[in-house]
Structure 1
Amino acid sequence: MKKKILLPIFATFMIFSGVGTGTNTAQASSASELTATASKYIGVPYVYGGTTARGLDCSGFTKLVFSQLGYDLSRTAAAQYKQGKAVSKSDLQPGDLVFFNTSGGVSHVGISLGGNKFIHAGTSTGVTEANITSSYWAKRYVGAKRVASFGESEKVVAAASSIEKEEVKNSAIDFTVYASRGEVAIQLAETLGLDTSDTNSPFTDIKSSSKYAGAATALYKLGIFTGDENGKFNAGSPLTRAQMAKVLVKAFDLKMASDNLKFTDVPASHWAHNDISILASNGITNGKGDGTFGTNDNVMLKHLTAFINRLQ
Structure 2
Amino acid sequence: MIKFISERVAVKVTLYVNLLLLVVMGAGAAYMIIDQGAALEAQLLERGKTESMTGAKMTGVLIEEAIDNGVFTIRDAFDTAYEKIPGFNPPKFHTKYDFYLDKALLGIEDEFLKDKSVVYAVAADVNGYVPTHNTRYNQPPTGDPEKDLILNRTKRIFSDKVGLAAAQNLNLGFLQVYSRDTGETMWDISSPIMVKGKHWGGFRIGYSLEKINAAKFRMMISTLLIMGAIFLISFILVFITVQRSLLPIKELTDTSIRLVEGQINQKIAVKGNDEIGKLADALERLRFSLKTAMDRLARK
Measured against the shorter chain, the TM-score band is under 0.3
TM-score by length of 2: 0.20
TM-score by length of 1: 0.20
Over alpha carbons, which structure has the higher Rg? 2
The answer to which structure has the higher helix fraction is 2
